[in-house]
Structures are given as C-alpha cells and as structure tokens.
Amino acid sequence: MDVSRLLDDLNDNQREAVAAPQSNMLVLAGAGSGKTRVLVHRIAWLMEVENIAPFSILAVTFTNKAAREMRGRVEAVMGRSMNTMWIGTFHGIAHRLLRSHHEEAGLPENFQILDSDDQYRLIRRILKAMNLDEKHWAPRPVQWYINGNKDEGLRPQHIDTHGDATQQKMREIYAAYQDACDRSGLVDFAELLLRAHELWAKNPDLLSHYQRRFRAVLVDEFQDTNNIQYAWLRLLCSGNDNSIMIVGDDDQSIYGWRGANVDNIHHFLKDFNDTTTIRLEQNYRSTSTILNAANAVIDNNQGRLGKDLWTDGSQGEAISVYAGFNELDEARFIVSQIKDWLNQGHALADSAILYRNNAQSRVLEEALLHEGIAYRIYGGLRFFERQEIKDALGYLRMVNHPHDDAAFERVVNTPSRGIGEKTLSQVRITAREHNCSMWQASQLLISEGALKGRALNALRSFSILISELEQHILDQPLEKQADITIKESGLFAMYKAERGEKAQARLENLEELVTACKQFIIPEEAEEMTPMSAFLAHASLEAGETQADTNQDAVQMMTIHSAKGLEFPLVIMAGVEEGMFPNPMTNDEPGRMEEERRLCYVGMTRAMQKLIMTYAESRRVYGQDKYHTVSRFIREIPAEHVQEVRLKSTISRPVHNRFSRAASHESFEDSGFQLGQRVVHRKFGEGIVLNYEGSGDHARVQVNFDEFGSKWLVLAYAKLESA
Ligand code: ATP
Ligand code: MG
C-alpha cells in the first residue's frame, strides 16, 4: 500500500498524530475536529508502517455501535478484514479477558453477567435474607454504593467506615452480595472492570504477557472513563513494551453522574511516561455558524482546558429557534421542518431529533406517525413499548376487560404481592381445564377454597384491587382513569421507591401516559367505543407498528447522551427550555449545571449543515400545564447566529436575541383566531385555543374550556367568538 494515502486527507496536526513515532500521546480536541478519524488512520499507520500485527492492537470505544463502525472504517482503509484486532468497549474487553482467564480470575468457566435489573433483584433478596427492612435500606442506594465502590476499585475490606454504624452495615451488605455472586458465578457490570483489573494486578506474568502482546493501545472518548478503567489502562501501559494514544474532549464529558472522571485527562499527563499532547483545532463537521454558536455556549463553563476551534467551512444558515405555543405545536413545527427537508431532496436518515429525556419522544412520535414519516428510536424503545408503560396499560386492560390473559400475566405480580410461580401455574391449569380466562380461574380457585394461606391472600388481594379499580374509575374522564390506575395499582410507588436515573425516567413516562390520555382524541371510526377501549386500541396499534428497520430511510431519534460521537446533516434539538434543559434536577449546582451545558454543546455539535432548536412555552406534564421560558443555553448564543422562526413566515431578528416574549402566533388559516386566544362557545362557555388542524371546511380547533376541559370542534359549526 502507498502509505501516503493514509495521510492524504488529513491536516498537519492530524498527520503529526497519525505518523508520530510510538509514544504515549494525548489528542485533545473539540467536537468534529477529526479525533475519531485520527484514531482510525493511526491504527492503519501502525500496521502499515510500524508493522504491528492487528493481533497486537487494542482499541477502546464508548459503545458497541462505535466499535463496529471503527472496525468497518479500519477495514475500509486497509482493504482487508481485521478479525484479530481487539476493538470494543471497556466492558466488552474485560469480559473477553475474564472468559480467557476465568481460572486466574476465580470464576467458573460459564460465569454469567448480571445486568442492572438482575443486580437490583439480587440485592433485594440479600436484604431480605439479612432481615433488613427495605424502608430503611432501600435497594437502589445499596446498588449505587456497591457499584460506586467497585468503580473506585474498592472491595468491602478496603472500605474505611470510620466506625459509622450505617457505613458498616452497607459494607456488610456489599460483602454478602459479593458472596452470593461468587457462589453463583455471577458478575455485574462494575465487577467486570474491577475483576479485569485485579486479574492483571495479581498475576504479573499474565500482565506482562498482555503488555507485550498489545503493543498499541488506543482509546476514544477518553473524557468519559471512570477511575477503575483508568487504573486498568495504567497497568497495561506501565511497562516499556507498549504505548497508548488517547483522544478526548473535556468539553464533552457528560457521564459524570455515572462516575466518569474528566480529571483523568490531567492524570494521564502525570502518570504516563513521556507523553506528548497534540491539539486539533480545525472543525470539519459543522458550518461556522453552528460552530461559533456552540463555542459561545460552552464558553460559559469555568475551568476548561481551553481549545480554539475554527472552521474554513461555509457560514451556512442561521440557527433556527422556534417557540412552540405548547408541546403539540412544537412537534408539529418539527414535522413541518422534516417535510421541508425531504422536499429539498434530502434523505430522512440525514436528520436527527435529539432530546434531553426519553419521555419527550412520545409527542414527537405521534406527530411523525400522524404524517406517516418513518422514524427510528436509537438506543431505546418506542414509547408504548417501554416496560412501565406496558405495566400501566396491562392494568388498564385488566380493568377494561379482565379476561385478557396476557395483561393478567403481566400485572398479577407487578408490583410484587407474593403471588409465586406455583400459584400462577395452578391458575393456568384451572383456566385450561375450565376453558376460561385466568381471571375467572382465579375467582374459582378463591371461592372453591383450592388455595391456602399466603397464596390465597395474595390472589384475593389482586382480585379485590382490580374490582375496586373498576369502581373507582367508573364515570371518570380518561386521564383520571389512567392516573387513578397508575397510583392505586402501586406501580407509581414501586418505581418511585427505586430511585435513580432509570426509575426517574420511568416515572416521567408514566406521567406522560396520563398526558397522552388527556390529549387523546377518539378517531371517528371508533366513536362507538368507550374512550378507554379506543385508547388501548390506539396504544397497541402504535406499539405494533414495527420500528423502521435499519435500511429504511427514517428520521433518527435519540437522547443527546446517545448521540455522542455521531453527526447528522440536520439536527433538531427539542425541548430546549428552562425546566427541561437544563434538567431541573441540577438545582443550579455549579458542577451539574456545567455538565448540562456540556450536554448542550454535544447536542449542537452533532449538526453539520443545519441546526434547529425548539422549545414549548407551555408543556403538559402529568396533566398539568407548566409554563417555561427559553433555555439559558439558547440565550447564550450570540444574536447574529440566531433566527427566530414562526410557523408561516420566517422573520429575522437581527437586533438582539431575546426569547422572553409571550405566545404570538400568526392567526391560522385566516380563521380570525389565534393559538392562546380566549374564546366563548354557546354551550361550553369560555376557554382557550390550544391547537388546530386542517383548513377550510375541515379546520378543527382544540379549545380548553374552563368548565368542560379540552374539546376538538369543527370550526365551521362551533360558532366561536372571541371572549
Ligand atoms: P466528536 O468529538 O464529535 O467525537 P471527532 O473529533 O471524533 O468528533 P470525527 O468524527 O473524527 O471528529 O470527524 C468529524 C467529521 O470531519 C467527519 O465527518 C470526518 O470524516 C471529517 N474530517 C475529519 N478530518 C478531516 C479532514 N482532515 N478533512 C476532511 N474531513 C475531515
Ligand atoms: Mg469522535
């Protein structure tokens, strides 16, 4: 191969990094400056010029997807397959090592990985076995404690409790948990890393074998490594046999909440021999408008390592900012922008919608479905397929139609009410014998006295719960039905007790389900159904709609966290308002606020040609309207890069960037009404215009009446007058 080809499409600094003699190297550079590209070319260079075999290369990426892409890119550059090269995530690589050396690692050959949910369940069993009340020893904090210590490389015996009784008990639980794992050959995620570290720390021969084998170690997204990962890399590269290249950007460290430590970049310069630092300052991804805007935002953080990022790319379009009247209006605007994008001849797959929280996807999904636009949710499930939503729908289905066996199976013991597998199988058998539903079978078993003691009580309490729920939601509006069911079933309390990011997201989703009910409009073809039946049908249809498959052209939807490292010609960031982003949980804590700002920087710098940022001036959260102002992050963008957009016309606002105005939409379809306007209806009284669709004779408006709640009315018949 002509090796100059490996340097051709690189700038001077990138070339310096790719072609440097073997040494420990830090490539510190901002978003889109070609860090990942440098890593790929460096791997090829090491093989072609330094004659390092693929077998001797270890590359670490942040996600499995990134690992697959990197392997593909190296193979494309080299023109052959690279099976023997190790490319993977820290967890994947640790797993591979432990499999190869399970004996030295003290593990059975067929050890199993415990995922986070399994780990949680095991901790609950341990607490029970230790007779510890979950009220005082909540399993979630115990889980954080165990994983947090493992991330710092600490076993129970290493933990200094300073004589504190609570700390001592926590340490005891950790030890009991670890014993249970060891007895059953179970390894949790944090344990993979810790054990891989111990494997080398305790076996110098093995370590030196790998030091000689992996002559070149390369790490992407280094700013998000945690301490045990760092210690593991340090062991591997402590000899004189190999060298390491790390690439990263302190401004893109977004996993601090999960134990990542951006200071590892500073430590690297101290802890590794003869390090050189190379900075890349030219951005190749984004237009100068997008880049300058992102730079201005991140400039508000303190204590940055500091980078000058420039581009000689075109200026491009201004960043569009749209203030939705509410979240439906925001979603409709986003869909209109995607349609425009399509009409300009672009592919859907070149567009991405990014949001702060998973729960935000629901309104966007519905707007896209409504217009028949294909979408993919990357790194997550579609709204109606999420566990907690299926749990809640399971209860609603039971109440609506108790003979639904799938729903019965789903919720009978969620939250746990002590109905064991044995009782359940009795129910199943009885149902089969009598050719009836599981619900009827339970009634039979209860009334015939076929069950005893705890099993009987547990099944009876479930049966009472469902009957009572049915009573309580009778004659209630749809959203109340959902709200009552979520609460009285114990689902809300169950997820609330879990705490942590994931549980928080589940609560948000449950709240979003209530909102979905409130916004639900019964389609004409289902008018004879009860609102609940119609809603459940709608939910299963949406869930059944298969996710656009990988080769289908589809809009990409994901949280900003999962967009790390990716790029898209069009990026739409949704929900950029105070109260959403920055996440209100940050409580203005300086450290967390800066991490939110870095997240915003990551989001903005995913955009290549066009960036659109939207927010909603009012958003329905758990059936209540919350009023928000534009996010501080948008206000941090210099005015000359921003263009405020309105639905029908585009008005430049060159003078200043102020988004504090009240809702001021164009009147729609010449109807004489505006979103947000107060109107009077002959029968329903006064209300406020929330939404509209269609035009001419088909135009419909949604009005939230003070007394009667929200209703859709055909404009031509409604005879609305302004209040
Ligand atoms: P991030 O911080 O977001 O991970 P990065 O620094 O890893 O970004 P890359 O993804 O490697 O950046 O590169 C960004 C884009 O710029 C890619 O499309 C890449 O192909 C392109 N690029 C990088 N270097 C050059 C170059 N010298 N000439 C032309 N294009 C380049
Ligand atoms: Mg990258």
pLDDT at 326 > cutoff 70: yes
- Greater pLDDT, 299 or 534: 299
> Rounded to the nearest whole angstrom, what is the distance from the C-alpha of residue 548 to the centroid of ligand 1?
28
> Which residue, by CA, sits nearest to atom 14 of ligand 1?
32
d(CA 474, CA 647): 41
Q: In what helix (H) or strand (E) does residue 296 lie, and over which residues does it extend?
A: helix 288-298
For residue 11 and ligand 1, the question of a CB distance below 6 A is answered with yes
For residue 10 and ligand 1, the question of a CB distance below 6 A is answered with yes
What per-residue confidence (pLDDT) applies to 548?
54
For residue 281 and ligand 1, the question of a CB distance below 6 A is answered with no
Out of 254-263, 436-445, 570-579, least confident range = 254-263
Q: Which atom of ligand 1 is nearest to the CA of 221?
A: 4
**ipTM above 0.85 for this complex:** yes
> Rounded to the nearest whole angstrom, what is the distance from the C-alpha of residue 436 to the centroid of ligand 1?
62
Strand partners, 59: 87, 218
pLDDT at 658 > cutoff 60: no
What per-residue confidence (pLDDT) applies to 695?
60
Q: What is the mean pLDDT of residues 115-130?
A: 82
> Rounded to the nearest whole angstrom, what is the distance from the C-alpha of residue 37 to the centroid of ligand 1?
6
Ligand nearest to the CA of 281: 1
Q: Does residue 582 have a cis peptide bond before it, meaning omega lies within 30 degrees of 0?
A: yes
What per-residue confidence (pLDDT) applies to 661?
29
Residue in 19, 39, 20, 21 with CA at minimum distance from that of residue 29? 39
Return the CA Rg of the chain: 29
What per-residue confidence (pLDDT) applies to 647?
53
What per-residue confidence (pLDDT) applies to 168?
96
pLDDT at 655 > cutoff 50: no
Backbone angles phi, psi at 214, to 5 degrees: -85, 90
Dihedral-angle region of residue 2 (phi above 0 means left; psi in -120 to 50 means alpha; beta otherwise): beta
Token duo for residue 565: 């490292």
For residue 565 and ligand 1, the question of a CB distance below 6 A is answered with yes
d(CA 236, CA 243): 9
Q: With cut-offs at 50, 70 and 90, classify the pLDDT of residue 299.
A: very high
- Greater pLDDT, 700 or 487: 487
3-class SS at 255?
A: coil
Out of 245-249, 275-279, 462-466, 643-647, least confident range = 643-647
What per-residue confidence (pLDDT) applies to 663?
31
Average pLDDT, the chain: 87
Transcribe 374-417 into DSSP letters: -EEETTS--GGGSHHHHHHHHHHHHHH-TT-HHHHHHHTTSS--
Q: Which atom of ligand 1 is nearest to the CA of 14?
A: 27
What per-residue confidence (pLDDT) applies to 550?
56
What's the angle, vertex CA 695, arms to CA 689 and CA 701, rounded to 5? Answer: 20
Q: For residue 30, say whether it is annotated as part of any ligand binding site.
A: yes
Which regions of 488-563 does DSSP assign to beta strands (E)?
555-559
Q: What is the mean pLDDT of residues 185-198?
A: 92
What per-residue confidence (pLDDT) applies to 557?
94
> Which residue, by CA, sits nearest to atom 15 of ligand 1?
285
Q: What is the mean pLDDT of residues 156-178?
A: 95
Residue in 245, 254, 250, 311 with CA at minimum distance from that of residue 278? 245
For residue 248 and ligand 1, the question of a CB distance below 6 A is answered with no
d(CA 327, CA 515): 11
Neighbours of 683 (CB within 10 A): 9
Most confident of the ranges 100-109, 429-438, 444-453, 649-658: 100-109
Q: With cut-offs at 50, 70 and 90, classify the pLDDT of residue 660.
A: very low
pLDDT at 652 > cutoff 70: no
Q: Is the pTM of this model over 0.80?
A: no
Token duo for residue 188: 């949790």
d(CA 30, CA 188): 34
Residue 146 · residue 177 · CB < 8 Å: yes
What per-residue confidence (pLDDT) applies to 117?
67
Token duo for residue 308: 């000058």
> Rounded to the nearest whole angstrom, what is the distance from the C-alpha of residue 389 to the centroid of ligand 2?
34
What per-residue confidence (pLDDT) applies to 380?
67
What per-residue confidence (pLDDT) applies to 665?
36
pLDDT at 266 > cutoff 70: yes
What is the set of active-site residues?
Answer: 35-36, 220-221, 252, 606
pLDDT at 608 > cutoff 70: yes
Ligand 2 ion: residues within 5 Å (CB): 35-36, 565
CA end-to-end distance (rounded Å), the chain? 78
Residue in 346, 270, 281, 348 with CA at minimum distance from that of residue 553? 348
pLDDT digits (tens, 9 = 90+) for 458-481: 999 999 999 999 999 988 999 999
For residue 32 and ligand 1, the question of a CB distance below 6 A is answered with yes
- Greater pLDDT, 112 or 231: 231
Q: What is the mean pLDDT of residues 587-601?
A: 88
- Give 683-690 contacts, CB < 8 A, sequence gap 24+: 684/708, 684/711, 686/723, 690/325, 690/326, 690/328
What per-residue confidence (pLDDT) applies to 549?
56
d(CA 58, CA 229): 14
Residue in 229, 310, 296 with CA at minimum distance from that of residue 267? 229
Q: What is the mean pLDDT of residues 1-16?
A: 90
pLDDT at 109 > cutoff 90: no
Q: Which atom of ligand 1 is nearest to the CA of 31?
A: 2
* Percent of the chain clearing pLDDT 90 (strictly above): 58
Q: With cut-offs at 50, 70 and 90, classify the pLDDT of residue 649.
A: very low
> Rounded to the nearest whole angstrom, what is the distance from the C-alpha of residue 380 to the centroid of ligand 2?
21
Q: For residue 579, say whether it is annotated as part of any ligand binding site.
A: no
Q: Which atom of ligand 1 is nearest to the CA of 566?
A: 3
What per-residue confidence (pLDDT) applies to 369?
86
Amino acid identity of residue 150, one-letter, is K
> Which residue, by CA, sits nearest to atom 18 of ligand 1?
285
Task: Describe the chain by its helix, strand, coil percentages, rounded to 5.
Answer: 50, 15, 35
Q: Is 310 exposed, middle or buried (0-12, 13-18, 19+ CB in 10 A)?
A: middle
What per-residue confidence (pLDDT) applies to 620?
83
Q: What is the mean pLDDT of residues 296-309?
A: 89
pLDDT digits (tens, 9 = 90+) for 216-226: 999 999 999 99
Q: Does residue 21 have a cis peptide bond before it, meaning omega lies within 30 degrees of 0?
A: no
pLDDT at 404 > cutoff 90: no
Backbone angles phi, psi at 159, to 5 degrees: -85, 125
Using the structure block, give the residue that is written with the tokens 């639900």: 520
d(CA 661, CA 668): 19
pLDDT at 86 > cutoff 70: yes
